[in-house]
Structure 1
Amino acid sequence: MRPALSPTSLVAAAAAALIALPLALAPEATAATHGRTYEVATWGSDRSAGSARHPLRTISRCAELVRPGDSCLIHRGTYREQVTPPAGRKDAPVTFAAYGDGAVTVDGTDTVTGWKDAGGGLVSARTDLPLDASENALFLDGGRAMEGRWPNSGTDPLNPTWAVAEKTSTDQHIDDPALPAGDLTGATVHLWAGSNPWSQQTGTVTATAAGALDFKGGNYRCDPLCMGDKNYRNYYLVGSRATLDQPGEWYYDKAAKTLYLVPPKGGMRGHTVTAKHRSWGIDLSGSSHVTVRGLDLWGTSLRTGKDSTGVLVENLNARYVSEYSTLPMPADDELAVEPGEGHIVVSRILDSGVQLLGTGNTLRDSEIAHSAGTGVLVRGSGNTVTNTYIHDVGWMGSYTPGIEINGSGHTVTHNTVRRTGRGSVDVSWQLNGVPFHNNEIAYNDLSEAMRTSRDGSPFYVCCNLDATGTSVDHNIVHDDDGQVGYYIDNSSGNFLLHHNVAYNTGTRGTFFNGHSGVSLGNRDHHSSYGQGITGASVRLSGATDATGTYVSNIVGMTKTEISGPGDPGPVVRSNLLPPTDPGYTDTRNGELWLRAGSPAIDAGETVAGVTTAVRGAGPDQGAYEYGDAIWSAGCTLPGCQSRVRNDGWTATASDGSDASAAVDGVQTTQWKSAALQAPGQSLTVDLGTPKTVGRLALDAGLDATGHPSGFTVATSRDGERWGKPVAEVSGRSFTQEAVFPTDTVRYLRITLTAPGDTEWGVNEIRLYADGPDAAGTLQAELATDILGTTRGDAATGLLGSGDRFGFRKVRFGAGADRMTLRVAAPGRGVTGLLQVRLDSPKGRIVGVLPVRATGGADTWQEQSAKLLHTVTGTHDVYVVAAAGPRTAAVDWLTFGR
């Protein structure tokens, strides 16, 4: 039987239906039945009545006019203003929505003009930037400009270039002969330093000399977070005119109200500069019962307030929501516990990101990208974040995550969080206090976390929290540079984890850390742990009392570790661990569901309230029940799927060493070059068949020395003819990325461009491009478009004639001529036809599958058909039921040869 739709699944299904529709309907369709509709357009006037023929000019004027039940429909264009909507009522909300004729952008920046020559290769402009100097942001021709910085770094703040201080440095002093000349006094020094730097910190330069500087600040926490003779001595400088030396860098002199810029080559003519003026483009801090639909934010953010309720934000596209260059200690009144110097780790969590505060508010079907701090802050009670794509956030390296959850009764489900400085999802004790009750954190895909930290995890909890009633289930964490997948730290208790998946997460899959305290009521059931975990699938340590801690039905490729379990100890049983082969489908690509004959099938025990969908003689061990539909995690928006499938790539090193570890799919194995880094050293990757790629991640794992100082990427279709490099990367960050124009290629060559004093180390090479890989398993419930059927957590409902689901930008590479679908079909004989169409639901038919009955609506079977011709390139793909009122439910599909 297909799993019943949970309440969160129904939310996701409703969200999917909304995504399939235009962002706004005709004015009369979107207005409240008893309210008035105003229209806003960039060509309007605030003296007009706000009608269709005479629209208002600003959204703010509309906000002044609306009353409960009214709507503001906003036509395409850019609106440089702060919008402060009034409150509606529960039975008559106020609505602010895109009209549907193009993008509506609330822009937090204003244009800077009047540029003049300032000497020394700089230009300047007089401008009054109203924000705190540490929160300024500049955009050049629509791209984020880098504040003057040393050493120079690329445009991606999650790939920073670090300087390395000499071992003679001390906690408030840096020795580095490479320091630039000039007066750096007043600059901000950003530190990632210490023996175990689980957070970063900033200070202010107080004096400079040749090859040395003094600074004041940081949190003075020695050891483990200070500069000195430590394992990590990384730092950079920002915010000094003396550091301006490459095009696009800027410095703002607040006292003189003057902005300095290194102009692009050729000067300022034809270039546009905007500077941030407004932190909160949409400020709902004093509002309730407001709907915000289909708006874009640029260089600004949105927030509700601690008393807000009934706010719905949907189809929000927010970019560059928060910017800052310092990490100050949080104010005492922001902390839920007694203040202490270690609480610098939560710096900026409460003043960054899209903020969902209050009670009963919802953010859904949205994309939040580019934040120095938090992606989304959830604080208060009973708030919901669902079907949202959050990425490229938290680059300043404190505990600011993709999603920060404080309070109780929240629902955080079906989100994709990718590329974060530290955690993907974080719960901070300092801000949350002890209670963390009745939260649901489920069906989230968390990856590429821990980019600027090493001690932590994509899902992180600290400390001493009571999570009674909270469930963390059906999440997938993978490809992260930290130490653990799910980290319940420092005596937190009553966390229920179940049906979770982790692979390529470092030393552990899940870690319950008593830390010389207690581990009360922590549980992990029915979870699956794959490769890239070197220590333990599950570890419990340091607990003086483990009452109620219980681990069962897990499947792992490494052992469990139970040390210091306390008295009484935990229950650990019914687990499948080495040396037994778990029988996973494809560990290289994270497909940890079971193959026929796996010893985990029917080998589990029933756990009340956790074990579901039992098939056969008993429940299976692990996160997936054999024979049932395969559940998936993450959002259904474009961009939520981007990983290029590793079909068995090979790598060749120019020095002849065995480079297989660089592409084996195991992040904890490493290839090392045979000699010190030198320009011209290379790795050549053969993808086996041509793949569509647009981003390469070069991961050095936890190695503090193996990353290169610079490299280029070149591509080839035949391995013989190589064009000019498509990307050039500089700096020495731990995971370095090259972004280049998307192309279909078979070979990639990574070539070093700079020497180094260590060997070159590569733990894993990963590739990405927009849209899913046709050779991968395309989970039907993750379709970006679905019509006429339901969307479950693991499959669609039954499709009848005319029903459909579809994926955007499916990458076929060199081509596919066969398709396989996993279906469940009641009835007898052929129950109907499933057509595969390209580029639109009525597009060209490239495949037809006559579906044969499988024995029931919950009996799954793989059925295949030849495509009508070979499909190449990138296409939107639609599966359409063409005949039969109850053709089939679909679990997944894949294409190949």
Structure 2
Amino acid sequence: MRLKHLSVLAAVTALLALPVQAQAAGAGRTYEVAPWGSDHARGTQAAPLRTIGACLDRVRPGDTCLIHRGTYREQLTPPSGTAGAPITLAAYGDGPVTVDGTERVTGWKDAGDGLVAADTNLPPDPDFNAVFLDNSRAAEGRWPNSGSDPLNTTWAEADPTSTDQHIDDTDLPDADWTGATVHLWAGSNPWAQQTGTVTAGSPGKLDFKGGNYRCPPLCMGNQNYRNYYLVDSKAALDQPGEWYYDEAAHRLYMVPPKGGMAGHTVTAKHRLWGVDLTDSSYVTVRGLNLWGTSLRTGKSSTGVVVDGLHATYISEFSTLPMPPDSDLAIPPTEGHIVASRILDSGVQILGTGNTLKNSEISQSAGDGVLVRGTGNTVTNNYIHDVGWMGSYTPGIEINGNDQTVTHNTIRRTGRASIDTAWQLNGTEFHGNRIAYNDLSEAMRTSRDGSPFYVCCSLNGSGTSIDHNTSHDADGQVGYYVDNYSGNFLLHHNVAWNTGSRGTFFNGHTGPSIANQDHNSSYGIGINGNSVLLSGATDASGSYISNIVGPKPISVTQIGDPLPVVRSNLISDQPGYTDPVNGELWPKAGSPVIDAGETIDGITTDVRGTAPDIGAYEDGEPIWSTGCDLPGCQQRVRHGAWTATASDGTDASAAVDGDINTRWTAAAAQAPGQSLTVDLGETKTFDRLSLDAGRDTSGQPYGFSVSVSRDGKAWSGAVARVAGRSFTQDAAFPVRTARYVRITLTASGPVPWVVNDLRLYGEGPDASSTLQAEQATSTYGVRLGTAATGVLGSGDRIGYRQASVNGGRLTVRLASTCTTGCALQLRLDSPQGPVAATLPVRATGSASTWREQSVTLPHRVTGIHTLYLVAKGAHQVAAVDWLTIRP
């Protein structure tokens, strides 16, 4: 089922699919395409073509296909343009243009046993089949049943008597499972998932072939983890919407919705690559939507620009085979199962000098984006809900050298947000820039890893990982440079709520040479080391400095020269502005100010007598991470929340904002047990995230969510959640409430636990710090990596769909205007009602930043698009950030 709160496809389309007639008119011929056209027409506005393919048959270098609103079920294979005359495919701007990779399935007939079936030919490789019911993802039949969110999966647990290729489970239904796919997450420390095929079965028992055979740590048996589920079997069909495809009979089976198939639409995937640029160069693709299909460039592609792509349900598969030897850059071993499906999933930017920007990529069993080759750019993208099959497929997979990956928001991933696969990449990782990315809610289907992960034996010479934020993840580390990798430069990174460490350089009985971490800030939710370099046989040239964090720094002192660790501050009171909400910049009087050392090329823009320790320089604008598209900012600001448990236990740990503290109920799970949270003020949200920590017990077997404005009158259940994933998300229509109640709906053998609760909305929470450079719209002003340029009278920045509940506007700004300047806060349009006028006072110089505030005449509540409009002079003020708080 599609999680509406996690997609802003329609909104982004409306903002980015702007008319491009003026852009297209100059270089070459423009053809128009529309569903009401004819492929025998001339391709003019009065006589458009019917299909995009017909336009591509006509275009030459410099030409443009302008595509009117509609759905196009075809595969696009553009020819090449030239460097000076690219070919352009662009949305016209009159509504969404969707390239759909599916075809309708019709002819449904009763198939007995409560099933219906239709004879249909699906793509030749059944591993990549995908089915949609009424434009939502339909789940393949599976046991045990799971919810609609593939990142909130439900596992069966094998008995300890299971062995490497055998499962004992007294709960297994008595059915013929022969030929089914068994999906395994098992072992002492299962850092990857794997699949096999059931060969025989009897009541409570299964034999299977496949998997990794690596035992331990990745095997079934008497291990810490014995998780599995079954798919690809007709025996698993038992709830409405589930499907099974009989490849031999070319027959699709489905459990029909209640009331039957009448009035329902079923489509199935037919095209893996809706836009196939494998043999194309110098092509621009702008403002298109992809549904149930993906886009790729090729090894020889160059000069391709993909701008404003909105790709949903891009990759689906049910097996995790070992990568073929031909895909591997180093000799194959059984451990290379982790690289399964990296090269055949996601939006793929291959080749040299290609760009993916301003795009939303979501819903993938594998990669969100694969960038591979040399000198490609992936910037300002929103990537979410990917990698749910549990191999090393991340939000962005980076292979090759000289890649630029910046300003992306990556949220809700099965494993890493950003990853590189050395098995496919080889050991070079030179000259890559990974910066200003926001990485959160990672590691949903793994325990061993991190939002940012590199492995193994990589040489990162010339690579910089800087100005990133890593937070609210279920792994162990914020930034993880694993197994013998060296020459990685990390600096000005931020991590909180990442588990045991901020950054980990893992020598793992081998060398970890010349790795560096400078000027990084680590905060709440780290309980091991702020930085750890361990297990190295040689740590020569390692250098850790200007770090601020809550836990010690530990570095193996071996090598020539010996590692350097100095000018760091380890303190649980470092003077952060708001650590629970990730605002780890120093406030006045912080001991980090002017306490650092100078490092060439790293400590720039110094204010005061010396560099500050940590990621932010006091007196400079506060840099931010992530994209500036709608949906990139969703986390609700954590205030003075309190929690009350129905069993009377102290539940404060559930709402303290620290992922490592835990509330545990007093007794085993039973329906009716509850936890009630008082947010202290009304908030607007549409998703609750319940984090039950990093072990395998205590996750609720089922719960419902209800809300209240006053703590007395409660809604019914706005969401019901089943499953036992480490973090469980409840999604529901937008609600405004002060109180939230979580009530158990199922029994379980152990007490339930909560490590952290988080809330999310469709847009930003205006009580959070709204960074100016993350504005979703601008007029007349340039945005930088921190703050805006100077706004003149009439210039503005805007934030779409912000949740507002406040009476005081605060803006951090720099201004030389001495009289008559102001910033107006307007609601819903640039000419909308004026909610506040902030008189701007000169700060002393254009680089002196001050906070200035004004009380609103009337409190503002609800969801609004906010505009900050400059008035009064040619140069009014540069803006760093703003907040609206009570």
TM over 0.5: yes
**2:13 equivalent to 1:23:** no
1:707 is matched with 699
Match status 1:446 vs 2:436:
no
Q: Which residue does the alignment assign to 2:54?
A: 61
Q: Deviations over 1:89-108 (max 9, x none)?
A: 00100000000000000000
How far off is 1:23 after superposition? Answer: 2.5
**Residue equivalent to 2:169:** 176
State the Cα distance separating 1:566 from its structure 2 match: 4.1
Contact preservation (8 Å) 1:552, 1:573: yes
Residue in structure 1 matched with residue 644 of structure 2 by the alignment: 652
CA distance in 2 between counterparts of 1:52 and 1:32 reads 13
Which moved further from structure 2: 866-875 or 65-74?
866-875
Cα distance in 2 for partners of 1:818, 1:489 equals: 47
Q: Is residue 825 of structure 2 the alignment partner of residue 836 of structure 1?
A: yes
> How far did residue 219 of structure 1 move?
1.0
For residue 677 of structure 2, the aligned residue among 666, 675, 685 is 685
- Correspondences of 1:518-537 after superposition (within 5 Å): 518-537=511-530
- One-letter amino acid matched to 1:25: P
Which residue of structure 1 aligns with residue 869 of structure 2? 880
- 2:478 paired with 1:485: yes
Distance 1:800 1:21, change over 3 A: farther
Partner Cα separation in structure 1 for residue 583 and residue 124 of structure 2 = 47
1:743 to 729, 735, 739: 735
Taking the aligned partners of 1:108 and 1:525, their CA distance within structure 2 comes to: 46
The answer as to whether partners of 1:542 and 1:565 remain within 8 angstroms in 2 is no
Question: Secondary structure in 2 aligned to 1:661?
Answer: helix
Partner Cα distance (1:384, 1:409) in 2: 9
Counterpart of 1:889 (choices 867, 873, 878) is 878
1:24–1:819: structure 2 CA closer, same or farther, 3 Å change rule? closer
Shift in CA distance, 20/280, structure 1 to aligned 2, threshold 3 Å: closer
Confirm or deny: 8 A CA contact 1:545 1:568 kept in the other structure: no
* CA deviation string 1:755-781 (max 9, x = no partner): 111111110011101111111111111
Quick one: distance in 2 between partners of 1:755 and 1:744?
Answer: 30
Please say if 1:767 is aligned against 2:756: no
8 Å contact from structure 1 (residues 24, 30) kept in 2: no
Aligned-residue offset at 1:519? 1.4
**Which residue of 2 is the match for residue 634 of structure 1?**
626
Higher mean C-alpha deviation, range 633-642 or range 671-680: 671-680
CA contact (8 A) 2:539 2:556 kept: no
Indicate yes or no: 2:658 matched with 1:666: yes
Partner of 2:215: 222
Contact 2:539 / 2:557 at 8 angstroms: preserved in 1?
Answer: no
| 1:292-441 superposed matches below 5 A | 292-441=285-434
For residues 585 and 741 of structure 1, what CA distance do their matches in structure 2 show? 32
Change in Cα spacing, 1:756 to 1:26, as seen in structure 2 (3 Å) is closer
**C-alpha distance in structure 2 between counterparts of 1:830 and 1:630, whole Å:** 26
Once the two structures are superposed, the pairs formed by residues 471-870 of structure 1 within 5 Å of their partners are: 471-563=464-556, 565-578=558-571, 581-812=573-804, 815-827=805-817, 829-830=818-819, 832-870=821-859
| Contact 1:542/1:564 (8 A) holds in 2 | no
* CA–CA distance in structure 2, aligned partners of residues 630 and 830 of structure 1: 26
Asked if 2 retains the 8 angstrom alpha-carbon contact of 1:554 and 1:574, the reply is yes
Counterpart-to-counterpart distance in 2, 1:26 and 1:562: 55
Query: Structure 2 CA distance, aligned partners of 1:184 and 1:564?
Result: 55
Deviation at 1:830, TM superposition (A): 3.0
- Corresponding position of 1:163: 156
Q: Distance in 1 between matches of 2:301 and 2:495?
A: 36
Q: Secondary structure at the match of 1:588?
A: helix
The question of whether the paired residues in 1 share the 8 Å contact of 2:80 and 2:86 is answered with yes
Check the 8 A contact 2:245/2:252 in 1, yes or no: yes
Aligned-pair CA distance for 1:32: 5.5
Q: 2:280 aligns with which of 256, 279, 287?
A: 287
User: What do the CA deviations read for 1:26-62 (whole angstroms, capped 9, x no partner)?
Assistant: 53x1326231111111111111111111111111111
Kept after mapping to 2: 8 A contact 1:824/1:854:
yes
> Percent identity of the aligned residues?
69
Specify the code of the residue in structure 2 equivalent to 1:862: E
Counterpart of 1:666 in structure 2: which amino acid?
A: D
Give unmatched runs, 5+ long, in structure 2: 1-11
- Asked whether the 8 Å contact 1:540–1:565 carries over to 2, the reply is no
- 1:83 aligns with 76
**One-letter identity of the residue aligned with 1:23:** A
Stretches of structure 1 that go unaligned for 5 or more consecutive residues are 1-17
1:781 is paired with a residue whose SS is helix
Q: TM-score with structure 1 length normalisation?
A: 0.97
CA apart distance, 1:581: 2.3
SS in structure 1 at match of 2:752: strand
User: What letter matches 1:227 in structure 2?
Assistant: M
TM-superposed deviation, 1:831: 5.5
When residues 195 and 522 of structure 1 are mapped into structure 2, their CA distance, relative to the original with a 3 A threshold, is: same
The correspondence for 2:195, drawn from 177, 194, 202, is 202
Matched, 1:456 2:449: yes
Instruction: Provide closer, same or farther for how the CA distance between residues 655 and 686 of structure 1 changes in structure 2, counting only shifts above 3 A.
Output: same
2:621 aligned partner, one-letter code:
A
Partner deviation per Cα, 1:430-466 (whole Å, 9 max, x = no partner): 1111111111100000000000000000000000111
State the SS of the aligned residue for 2:537: strand
Deviation at 1:867, TM superposition (A): 1.4
Q: For the aligned residues, what is the CA RMSD?
A: 1.1
- The 1-side partners of 2:681 and 2:478 are apart by 32
1:12 aligned partner: none
In 2, distance between residues paired with 1:20 and 1:834? 27
Q: What is the DSSP-based 3-state SS (H/G/I as helix, E as strand, rest coil) of the residue aligned with 2:790?
A: coil
Query: How far apart in 2 are the matches of 1:390 and 1:893?
Result: 26
- Give the distance between the partners of 1:550 and 1:581, measured in 2 at CA: 24
Counterpart of 1:604, as a letter, is G
TM-score between the two structures when normalised by the length of structure 2: 0.98
Q: Supply the distance in 1 between the matched residues of 2:414 and 2:806 (Cα, whole angstroms).
A: 37
Counterpart amino acid of 1:688? G
Q: Is the 8 A contact 1:32 1:92 kept in 2?
A: no
2:774 and 2:98 map into 1 onto residues whose CA distance is 28
**Out of 225, 228, 232, which is 1:239 matched to?**
232
Separation (CA, whole Å) in 1 of partners of 2:597 and 2:23: 51
CA distance in 2, matches of 1:830, 1:379: 54
TM-superposed deviation, 1:676: 1.2
Tell me the secondary structure at the aligned position of residue 62 of structure 1.
helix
Q: Deviations over 1:824-862 (max 9, x none)?
A: 0024x3361111111111111111011000001110111
**CA offset at residue 563 of structure 1?**
3.4
CA displacement at 1:19 relative to structure 2: 9.7
In the alignment, the residues of structure 1 paired with residue 697 and residue 38 of structure 2 have an alpha-carbon distance, to the nearest angstrom, of 60
Amino acid at match of 1:845: V
SS at match of 1:674: coil
Moved over 6 A (4+): 18-21
Q: Is 1:52 matched with 2:41?
A: no
Shift, 1:564, TM fit: 5.7
- The alpha-carbon distance between structure 1 residues 349 and 888, as it changes in their structure 2 partners (threshold 3 A), is same
Task: Find the residue that maps to 1:830 and give its secondary structure.
Answer: coil
Contact 1:37 1:72 in 2 (8 A): yes
